[in-house]
Amino acid sequence: MKHNLLRNLFLIILLLLAVVLGKVIGTVTQGISFLSWLGVGANFGLEPVTVNLSVVTFTLGMMVSINVAQALLLAIAILIFNTVKLRG
């Protein structure tokens, strides 16, 4: 039980680090001509939609923005996760 918890927590931390560092790397390298391809990205998802039912109002939506650096770091994080053996 404890081993699975540690393994899942390790995966979550690796993925979050990959997303954050990828965003930073993509943003920083946009100004450098030969590394600007790392900042190329795509946005996809659902634009926010508001539903007003007079009694209840709620908004639904989700947008995902990913760049090349994030995709590369996510792939590396998954490879690291599969190769590291946790003892617990």
The beta-strand segments (E) located in 1-88 are 41-52, 57-67
Continuous segment of H or E residues that includes residue 68: helix 68-83
Separation of alpha carbons 37 and 29, rounded Å: 8
Buried b (16+ CB within 10 A) or exposed e, 37-48: ebbebeeeeeee
- Write the CB contacts of 7 (distance below 8 Å, at least 6 apart in sequence): 86, 88
Separation of alpha carbons 70 and 24, rounded Å: 9
Q: Is the pTM of this model over 0.75?
A: yes
Tens digits of residue pLDDT in 29-52: 998 999 999 999 999 999 999 999
User: What pLDDT was estimated at residue 88?
Assistant: 58
